[in-house]
Structure 1
Amino acid sequence: MIRNLILTGGIGHPFADAAPALDGVLAGAGIRSTVTEDIEGGLEELDRGGFDLVTVYALRWRMLGSEKYAPHRDAWAFSLSPDGRERLTRFVTGGGGLLGLHTALVCFDDWPGWADLLGAAWVWGRSGHPPLGPVTLRPTDAPHPITDGLPAFTVIDEAYRDLDLAPDVVPLATVEAGEGGAWPALWAREVGRGRAVTDTIGHDRATLEHPVHQQILTRAALWAARRL
């Protein structure tokens, strides 16, 4: 049994419905998840041991720079504590697995070490996405057990573009939205003694439960946890 900690919650996305769906998808591969919106409290659980994987499927950042976030700041604005940063870094670099899903790239925006773990960062003023609509995830020619043999597929989602990618990122899939081009959307990396996978789509339950995306998610979790 693989034990997974899912950190979730935030605005603009149906996490309350989608996070349990993610739990169900991973359960089909023998992965037992603890789901929580308490980011700090969840990471404290890592000190007790027993977890093989941490999944960040949340939208938690400082919410600075635009007054449109003002109504949500009291409930959702967030800066990960030094202890939380240390716990997450120690877990991954010490041999644990990390799965960063969709909005994970926006999280923890005042912590450069988060980009070091994920392999990319959202850059305010440069990164973005077209409006929610049809996007196609297309595996690249890079061989990897997460994507080997899988076809392209189309879902209603957000195609993240113009991220700040680490030099060692090798895209395993790209995402396309209409005529807007294609951008790296899935990659897997060794981080210290651990493994990290980043998947930039996953807006809602429908995307998570698409049959091909389910295979990507379960393979990604198994690979990050060194079971694939």
Structure 2
Amino acid sequence: MARNLILSGGLFHDFAATSAALADVLGEVGVESEITEDIAGALSEPPEVQLITVNALRWQMGQDRFADLRGEWRFALPAEARTTLLDHLDRGGGLLCMHTAAVCFDDWQGWPRVLGGSWNWPKSHHPPLGWTGVRVHGAAHPIVAGLRDFDLVDEVYSDLDVLPDVRPLASVHGQPLVWARPVRRGRVVYDALGHDTRSYDNEIHRSLLQRAASWLLKRPVDDTG
């Protein structure tokens, strides 16, 4: 069984619930997950895992609206943690990044180049949480081959800064929400969905995540819908 480290925790989301839900989804395809909110501690030395998942909202909080919260929640990713993530990819490991991962680690200029994009506070936004239709680009990648479009309750992250080489595997109204890319000797998947547990209740989204895990672990990807 492959091992996965889920880096969890932060503001405005029930990360305990979504990380547990994600662990259940991945457990169905033979991935055993450990969940921690001690991101710096967990990455202070190389974890013995094949997969690292970022399901957290931890950033520097430089925006004025968060001034009252900085004392408790402000976060900068230590240099040794950055090295751990890059070394993990150099060893061929997988990195699964969910929803708010695009906001995380904004003190590290290299993070958007790893992830493939980032939240831009002056322009990025999302409409209210609610039902949305996700378009699956089924010919784009084995992760989504044969999957149909689906509806779910979620937030649609919009107007992210996305690198030019990113090719979306799923989108909403032209907004790229899921992509996969090689980074160093490893692989990265970003899935902007996953605001709360309702997102993980959707059968197709679950299948997409399970396929993503298989691809990240360099296993055969099930191509049945």
Q: Same fold by TM (over 0.5)?
A: yes
Once the two structures are TM-superposed, the CA of residue 209 in structure 1 deviates from its matched residue by 2.3
**Aligned counterpart, 2:206:** 214
**Residue matched to 2:53:** 55
| Secondary structure, counterpart of 2:158 in structure 1 | coil
What letter matches 2:202 in structure 1? H
TM-score (norm 2): 0.93
Matched, 1:79 2:76: yes
Hey, what does 2:215 align to over in structure 1?
Answer: 223
**1:74-113 aligned within 5 A:** 74-113=71-110
Residue in structure 2 matched with residue 178 of structure 1 by the alignment? none
Name segments (4+ residues, structure 1) moved above 6 Å.
Answer: none
- Looking at structure 2, the residues matched to 110 and 93 of structure 1 have their Cα atoms a distance apart, in angstroms, of 22
Partner of 1:186: 178
Per the alignment, residue 63 of structure 2 pairs with 65
For residues 154 and 74 of structure 1, the distance between their equivalents in structure 2, rounded to whole angstroms, comes to 38
Matched, 1:36 2:36: yes
- Is the CA contact (8 Å cut-off) linking 1:139 and 1:150 kept in structure 2? yes
Partner in structure 2 of residue 163 of structure 1: 160
**How many residues of Structure 1 are paired with residues of Structure 2 in the alignment?**
220
Contact 1:5 1:35 in 2 (8 A): yes
**CA shift digits 1:84-103 (9 cap, x unpaired):** 11111111133110001000
Q: Which amino acid aligns with 2:27?
A: A
Q: Which amino acid in structure 1 is aligned with residue 117 of structure 2?
A: A
Query: Using the alignment, how far apart are the partners of 1:142 and 1:161 within structure 2?
Result: 23
CA distance in 1, matches of 2:69, 2:134: 31
Distance 1:21 1:198 in 2: 17
- Asked if structure 2 preserves the Cα contact closer than 8 Å seen for 1:142 and 1:171, the reply is no
Tell me how far 1:141 sits from its aligned partner.
4.5
Q: Does 1:118 align with 2:110?
A: no
Report the residue type matching 1:35 in the other structure.
Answer: I
1:84-143: CA deviation from partner (whole Å, max 9, x where unpaired): 111111111331100010000000012111111111111110111111111221111533
Q: Distance in 2 between matches of 1:168 and 1:43?
A: 28
Per the alignment, residue 192 of structure 2 pairs with 200
CA RMSD of aligned residues (A): 1.3
Structure 1: give runs of 5+ residues left out of the alignment. 176-180
- Structure 2 partner of 1:8: 8
The offset of 1:71, in angstroms, is: 3.5
For 2:179, the aligned partner's letter is: W
Q: Say which SS state the counterpart of residue 195 (structure 1) adopts.
A: strand
After TM superposition, the score normalised by the length of structure 1 is 0.92
Moved more, 83-92 or 193-202: 83-92
Identity across matched positions, percent = 48
In structure 2, what residue type is equivalent to 1:138? Answer: R
What is the rounded CA distance, in whole Å, between the counterparts of 2:33 and 2:51 in structure 1? Answer: 9
> Shift in Å at residue 51 of structure 1?
0.7
